[in-house]
Chain A
Amino acid sequence: MIAIIDYDTGNTRNVKKAMDYLNIQNTLSADPAVIGNADGLILPGVGAFGKAVEALKQRQLIPVIKQAAKAGTPILGICLGMQLLFDRSFEFGETPGLGLIPGEVVAIPDDLGVKVPHMGWDQNQVTQTDPIANGFDQEATYFVHSYYVKTQPQYILAESDYGVKIPSIVRNQNVIGMQFHPEKSGRIGLNGLAAFKEVVTNGNYSRN
Chain B
Amino acid sequence: MLAKRIIPCLDVDHGRVKKGVNFVHLTDVGDPVAIAAAYEKQGADELVFLDITATNEKRPAIVDTIEKVAAQVFMPLTVGGGIHTVADMQRLLKAGADKVAVNSQAVRDPSLISKGAEKFGAQCIVLAIDSKWDPAKQRYTVYVNGGRQATDLDVIEWAKQGVAAGAGELMVTSMDKDGTKSGFDIPLYQKLTVAVNVPIIASGGCGKLTDFNDVFKQTDVDAALAASVFHFGELTIPDVKAALKKDGVTVR
A residues sitting closer than 8 Å to B (CB atoms) are: 10-11, 13-14, 17-18, 20-21, 46-48, 110, 114-123, 140, 142, 144, 146, 161-162, 183-187, 189-190
30 A-B pairs in the complex with CB atoms less than 8 angstroms apart: A10-B120, A10-B121, A17-B70, A17-B96, A18-B74, A46-B120, A46-B123, A46-B124, A47-B120, A114-B2, A115-B197, A116-B197, A118-B2, A119-B168, A119-B199, A119-B222, A120-B2, A121-B45, A121-B252, A123-B1, A140-B3, A142-B75, A142-B76, A144-B98, A144-B123, A162-B2, A184-B74, A184-B75, A187-B74, A189-B74
A139 to B222, CA, bound (A): 19
Q: Which A residues lie within 8 Å of B223 (CB)? A: 120
B198 interface contact, C-beta 8 A: yes
B71 interface contact, C-beta 8 A: yes
Interface size for chain B: under 10, 10 to 19, 20 to 34, or 35 or more residues?
A: 20 to 34
A123 to B251, CA, bound (A): 10
Q: Which B residues lie within 8 Å of A13 (CB)? A: 94, 96
Chain A residue, CB-CB nearest to B3: A121
A153 to B123, CA, bound (A): 29
Interface of B is mostly: loop
B12 interface contact, C-beta 8 A: no
A-contact bits for B85-108, CB 8 A (1 contact / 0 none): 000000001101010000000000
Interface of A is mostly: mixed
B residues sitting closer than 8 Å to A (CB atoms) are: 1-3, 5, 40, 45, 70-72, 74-76, 93-94, 96, 98, 120-124, 168-169, 197-199, 222-223, 252
A46 to B1, CA, bound (A): 23
Q: Which A residues lie within 8 Å of B76 (CB)? A: 142, 184
Q: Which B residues lie within 8 Å of A123 (CB)? A: 1, 3
Q: Which A residues lie within 8 Å of B96 (CB)? A: 13-14, 17
Which of B71, B72, B94, B222 is in CB contact (< 8 Å) with A120?
Answer: B222
Knowing A115-B198, A140-B3, the reply to whether A183 touches B74 (Cβ < 8 A) is yes
Q: Is the CB of A21 within 8 A of B74?
A: yes
A186 to B37, CA, bound (A): 10
Q: Which B residues lie within 8 Å of A18 (CB)? A: 74
Chain A residue, CB-CB nearest to B198: A115
Which of A119, A140, A161, A189 is in CB contact (< 8 Å) with B123?
Answer: A119
